[in-house]
Amino acid sequence: MLTIHHLYADMMNLYGDRGNVISIKKRCQWRGIPVEVIDVGLTERIRPTGCDLFLFGGGQDREQALLAEDLSGSKGADLRAIVEDGGVVLGVCGGYQLMGHSYETPEGQKLPGVGIFDLHTEPRRPKEERLIGNVLVRVRAPETGETREIVGFENHGGRTYLGEDVKPLGEVIVGYGNNGKDGTEGARRLNAYGTYLHGSLLPKNPWLTDQFILNALRRTDESFELEPLDDTTEGRAFSSVAARVAGRR
């Protein structure tokens, strides 16, 4: 039984985060793997079951402040411990930003992050634009060393800068990524992933979805293998977006 913990599902539901939950759920169900989704709200504790996947989505600024406060106590500490222990966590946009050291709002309020990733996020300067558009990113899968591409859509004002103790999730081929300057996108440490790509991320990049599922299942059974699925429809969706953004290369 795989448990998906959807953090702040009732608040951070912007930009189709639901697509990520549905992707994981269906790809388990189609393989006969029992799966449940638990929504973890404000003030509620995270209760791991041993075979878990944690999703932390994006929200609006007002909500970021509420979440930062909620995470400043034991919940943030639990999440840190889960990552140190090799737990699978995916943070998207606002969730990704709060997984760093700090996040500064456009009004200048500096919110503390959970500190899972060595990174911080600065607000958009008055003359800077929001970073918006389709994104194509090259990702090296550490498990196999092979290079693959993922597509998504980004829409963020904050600029994220990585520190020395964290690796980017991938390099931007088209789009802005972390800050629009250094060509990096997202972050990865152990089994924790952060990214600005929504749109939604997982439906069009099913191999990444499977990677998360496999990492989670292998926590209880090291030899677990996933049956392959027919990904023709997903593959076409990936290719059509990749072709659309390739025009801007």
Stretch that binds another protein, among 22-30, 45-53, 137-145, 175-183 (CB under 8 A): 22-30
Question: Could you say which of 54, 103, 153, 176 contacts another protein (CB under 8 A)?
Answer: 153
Q: Distance between CA atoms of 82 and 203, rounded to whole angstroms?
A: 25
CA angle 5–198–191, rounded 5-degree value: 50
Tokens of 59: 């929200």
Min dist. Cβ of residue 241 to another protein (A): 7
User: Which of the following is catalytic: 5, 93, 120, 156?
Assistant: 93
> Does 28 participate in catalysis according to the annotation?
no
Tell me if 80 sits within 8 A of 29, measured CB to CB.
no
- Does 91 engage in binding with another protein (CB under 8 A)? no
Cβ nearer to another protein, comparing 24 with 162: 24
CA distance 174 to 135: 5
Cα dihedral: 71, 74, 77, 78 (round 10): -100
Q: Print the binding letters for residues 26-65 with another protein: x by CB under 8 A, - otherwise.
A: x---------------------------------xxxx--
Buried b (16+ CB within 10 A) or exposed e, 49-88: eebbbbbbbbbebebbbebbebbeeebbebbbebbeeebb
Least Å from the CB of residue 81 to another protein: 28
Looking at 8, 15, 103, 193, which residue binds another protein (CB under 8 A)?
15
Q: Does 128 bind another protein (CB under 8 A)?
A: no
- Among 97, 199, 215, 245, the residue binding another protein under the rule CB under 8 A is 199
To the query of whether residue 120 is one of the catalytic residues in this protein, the response is no
Q: Residues 75, 120, 189, 204: which binds another protein (CB under 8 A)? A: 204
Beta pairing, strands 192-195 & 187-189: antiparallel
Active-site residue list: 93, 198
